Structure 1
């Protein structure tokens, strides 16, 4: 008979009887390594050799730079972030680049650095403790080649899946992945081959207890959320990017923040401030966030109707590394691996640019005028927000997810046929995981995603009306602009385009030059069943455009009808 590790009291008992096995140094070693220094050149060589031989604890190399892993006390956090700390006694672990002052501190505390000096009275050589010069320390740290220093890929605070399909669940440095596992709570061991009883219990808990009563619009929304929740566990195994997770509700008090905070509670959460249309501030906030070890980054409660359209965010989501260079500065800037789960919540959030194809959508609709007054007694876990604040309960959630992941691995880690731009590896794995456990609907809300894409919706309507008015006739931008002018017949004003013609930032019909640039940027790009085509007209030395549908053959001059040819000649 197995222990009931879903019982918070039993998990708490296990936690209080377990000590951390992390190798982050808590104090000075009993015996310090001795490092003899002398002149500047001799000192540089001696320190370089000592560093390479591991003379100082918890020193790693990341991107060619030496870093020191240490626990951070007194670190400020918002009230929301403090609530997500798993154990009030556990300090966050942080990898900081080693500087000349910090190297001097490490040497003073963890090594005996000395010079040989002849005693004038006894004429005997003695070992006298000394401090290297700042110039020597800087010279040592200028090296980018440290072949014998352990590489640090990142710090994780919860178990993750290694590339070989085994689970990293022993605290400390993992040579197989280069990850440092710094748990903030004691986790019970997860079996490599969970029993069917454990798997059934885990699936029931996740799908029917934890997520019960969240007002998902469709199966796809629930499946997408589970796919996002397992992403931090699977990331080292898959070595892939994960999409932006958008939780959009129809009204306030729908549970969107709580839904986003579930993975935040179990992996670590960092709240970010969304500054609409301020790309510089967004870039700064991302750089600041990546200094944290939190695996989940959340822009919470965006203003109702906010359009998420950002070149900075698109760059972040599609790049394996985040590079924030300080242009015009001698500083090397900041570079970090993009290994986080990026989420946002809000009511009736819209998407712009290419964000629709970079986003996994989770929709909530309580269909209730007062969702905040719902009876909690019927919920799978009443007052889930308070329940999740207890460390033992967060362990329960994480343990069940890990059991489901290991069962999927033991089944051969089957993949589905889902594709999603740069996120197809995640989509195939998450889809296979969900299918293996009988959870339907994953990524089935692609149509709704496109509806949330304002730009795509606008262009779909524009091209559809263009095709209705002009068929496949070739048109120059100037003539197309002219066709958008309203027809005035006495007191009657008619808009042939029914309000679908493209407008500029002032909500006016763009100039022919501006329209030409807009059209050129969408050549060959499908919007709904329509696509914009073009060719260069040598006689006029300009581009002409036309619209095709997916039910028509590719445009060619001999395919034009006589009416089309006549209209082309006229325009």
Structure 2
């Protein structure tokens, strides 16, 4: 108290200066006081900012609601108002002006108040206070591809390297070679030789692609800070319990954090799942897995989809009345036996499947590494170095392009997927084709497309409303000889009460499937609709097979001819970057337009209506760098009508390769036009 000034009972004694601290006079306009308080807080080593919050790092002792196994984990936590008062007090000398007995002004010590703390906390703009993005307990890859190896705060990235007590990591080479990467991959893969990774039917490969899916999951945790975008979920499934799904997840976490992976029981309640995921985001946890999806149950839902397609989540913070966005960088895992997939989740995960040949896998003996978890902990520094060596070597080599089928999560694919393929020759996403087979939505669509024409034919109509279809199926007795038995089974699957769904439910489901193509070549089909007199009728539309383009240079065509004129609004997503590289997934070729006339040179490339008023001049604006969709179309459009492009023939950036994996030349699900035209 002597250092700070007078005691509370001695208001007439002048204070002694507190060395090294900023003095904050409270008898001023409040905005000036708060600005000085923020400036003082910037020197406090405990205080950081993250998103819209002032935060600190704590060693978590009590798991957030819905999470288990987080004890001891470094957690990013919002600073409570009461703690903020303490921090304000220790960061500055707070004084107020009073008159002494002689009528002279003096400064006496005072305390910051709850008002000061509240105004500082709600400011959401704290110049000088360090930004904390993530906390890591192991060396990690920075966004520029270099390795963060020095403990403490890294101001260039906002990362804080906080090693586990007593753990020392070796110096990791900043210039590894492909041979180093291959040796590192072998070191990591040797850890999991005893796990029964599934093999594709009839495959004679020594290594299973599921092994490399596991490797991708580990490298994703170690390199998450270098991935500028969302990451896929890693789904560990098995044919039976006790096959090793959870242990594989824990091995990843033991390497990356030194402790087992935090987990949460999976629920298909989207509201509850959203709360769990927001807790993960708020705490800055690097990884979490959704434990034990019910055997044969379905994985998916809006909460998980949002977490997998965004780098922030919105929720209510304890003590705050408003909703706030919080950064979300956790890598998600899920486990379950024979898990089914619903919605769009199959596009947003990398599956890793185990298939044990044993009836009771838990009774198995004789392993290459007897106590795997103890082995991992004792060799953890070397294993972390091995994982980072693979990706760092790929970066040093210039990140050579890998000829892989494009996918969602382009930033993740460019770094993790490509690095593994470059170092090992295996694509960790080769398992994703199997995920499509487990997609409930795809199965439902395939069966609807197969059975809808049966009902239409049975009713003597080309198309049916949902009400007409339900009435026909309900009228027809469901017996072994029923014409509509298969359709009845499909429709009951849409209902939650083992009965036919309401007409509106069926209509919404058909609307969701409209335009999606099932089958290939001459077997390709899609759902289409007609609307007349306010009634929507549905039918199954065959998709004409794509014809090969004419040879390059034939009759003025350059080898690339969209099926119909292209408009500015429909050709691309806004400002989509144009560029090469099979691994890039940002660009989409989405063609829509109207059939305006036959083109004798290419039936799939109709000409504009000759009677339309199309300006003769071409648009030749110089493209900006990097080249954008706008610039490409401006430079290649045959005409512009009402601000939209009309392109009857153009050469895309790929040169018109017509490869099936080319995002310029291959239609997407959105390419189907009204009436079935493509």
TM-score normalized by the length of structure 2? 0.67
Distance 1:368 1:342 in 2: 29
Q: Which moved more, 1:149-158 or 1:333-342?
A: 149-158
Mark the CA change 1:515 to 1:117 in structure 2 (over 3 Å): closer, same or farther.
closer
- Could you say what the CA RMSD is over the residues aligned between the two structures, in angstroms? 3.5
Shift, 1:165, TM fit? 1.4
**1:213 matched to 2:194:** yes
Match of 2:145 in 1: 165
Distance 1:286 1:405 in 2: 28
Correspondence for 1:383 among 371, 374, 382: 371
Match of 1:307 in 2: 298
Shift, 1:552, TM fit? 4.9
**1:448 matched to 2:434:** yes
Match of 1:49 in 2: 36
Match of 1:534 in 2: 528
Match of 1:298 in 2: 289
Distance 1:216 1:206 in 2: 15
Q: Report if aligned partners of 1:206, 1:400 keep a CA contact under 8 Å in 2.
A: yes
Q: Which moved more, 1:141-150 or 1:311-320?
A: 141-150
Distance 2:178 2:511 in 1: 57
**1:95 matched to 2:95:** no
Distance 1:356 1:297 in 2: 19
Match of 2:170 in 1: 188
Mark the CA change 1:367 to 1:467 in structure 2 (over 3 Å): closer, same or farther.
farther
**1:481 matched to 2:470:** yes
**1:283 matched to 2:278:** no
Q: Report if aligned partners of 2:284, 2:330 keep a CA contact under 8 Å in 1.
A: no
Distance 1:520 1:428 in 2: 34
Q: Which runs of 5+ in 2 are unaligned?
A: 1-17, 200-207, 547-562, 564-593, 596-678
**1:345 matched to 2:335:** yes
**1:35 matched to 2:22:** yes
Distance 1:195 1:455 in 2: 44
Distance 1:395 1:81 in 2: 25
Match of 1:402 in 2: 388
Distance 2:361 2:391 in 1: 33
Q: Report if aligned partners of 1:35, 1:47 keep a CA contact under 8 Å in 2.
A: no
Counterpart secondary structure, 2:128: coil
Shift, 1:283, TM fit? 1.6
Residues 470-512 of structure 1 show CA distances to partners (whole Å, capped at 9, x for unaligned) of 69943333443355357569x9742445355322222333344
Counterpart secondary structure, 1:346: strand
Residues 11-69 of structure 1 show CA distances to partners (whole Å, capped at 9, x for unaligned) of xxxxxxxxxxxxxxxxxxxx8632333344367624522532533223222224333x3
Counterpart secondary structure, 2:498: coil
Q: Report if aligned partners of 1:271, 1:300 keep a CA contact under 8 Å in 2.
A: no
Q: Report if aligned partners of 1:416, 1:429 keep a CA contact under 8 Å in 2.
A: no
Shift, 1:454, TM fit? 1.8
Q: Report if aligned partners of 1:450, 1:457 keep a CA contact under 8 Å in 2.
A: no
**1:243 matched to 2:232:** yes
Distance 2:317 2:284 in 1: 23
Relative to its length, the structure with more helix (as a share) is: 1
Q: Report if aligned partners of 2:528, 2:541 keep a CA contact under 8 Å in 1.
A: no
**1:60 matched to 2:48:** yes
Shift, 1:198, TM fit? 4.3
Q: Report if aligned partners of 1:418, 1:431 keep a CA contact under 8 Å in 2.
A: no
Q: Which moved more, 1:255-264 or 1:218-227?
A: 218-227
Shift, 1:212, TM fit? 0.8
**1:498 matched to 2:486:** yes
Distance 1:419 1:335 in 2: 33
Match of 1:432 in 2: 418
Match of 2:157 in 1: 177
Match of 2:516 in 1: 525
Shift, 1:369, TM fit? 1.3
Residues 321-360 of structure 1 show CA distances to partners (whole Å, capped at 9, x for unaligned) of 1111489x97123432120110011111111111111111
The number of aligned residues is 509
Shift, 1:375, TM fit? 2.5
Shift, 1:273, TM fit? 2.8
Distance 1:518 1:50 in 2: 56
Shift, 1:365, TM fit? 0.1
Correspondence for 2:536 among 543, 552, 561: 543
Mark the CA change 1:484 to 1:408 in structure 2 (over 3 Å): closer, same or farther.
same
After TM superposition, list the pairs within 5 Å mapping 1:323-338 onto structure 2. Answer: 323-325=314-316, 331-338=321-328
Match of 1:232 in 2: 221
Q: Which runs of 5+ in 1 are unaligned?
A: 1-30, 86-90, 557-571
**1:136 matched to 2:130:** no
Distance 1:157 1:412 in 2: 28
Shift, 1:527, TM fit? 4.0
Mark the CA change 1:32 to 1:265 in structure 2 (over 3 Å): closer, same or farther.
farther
- The structure, 1 or 2, with the larger RCO (C-alpha pairs under 8 Å, 6+ apart) is 1
Match of 2:499 in 1: 508
Q: Which moved more, 1:155-164 or 1:351-360?
A: 155-164
Distance 1:347 1:551 in 2: 40
Mark the CA change 1:226 to 1:439 in structure 2 (over 3 Å): closer, same or farther.
farther
Shift, 1:75, TM fit? 4.5
Distance 2:132 2:373 in 1: 34
Q: Report if aligned partners of 1:33, 1:55 keep a CA contact under 8 Å in 2.
A: no
Match of 1:360 in 2: 350
TM-score normalized by the length of structure 1? 0.79
**1:321 matched to 2:312:** yes
Mark the CA change 1:216 to 1:275 in structure 2 (over 3 Å): closer, same or farther.
closer
Q: Report if aligned partners of 1:272, 1:299 keep a CA contact under 8 Å in 2.
A: yes
Q: Report if aligned partners of 2:340, 2:440 keep a CA contact under 8 Å in 1.
A: yes
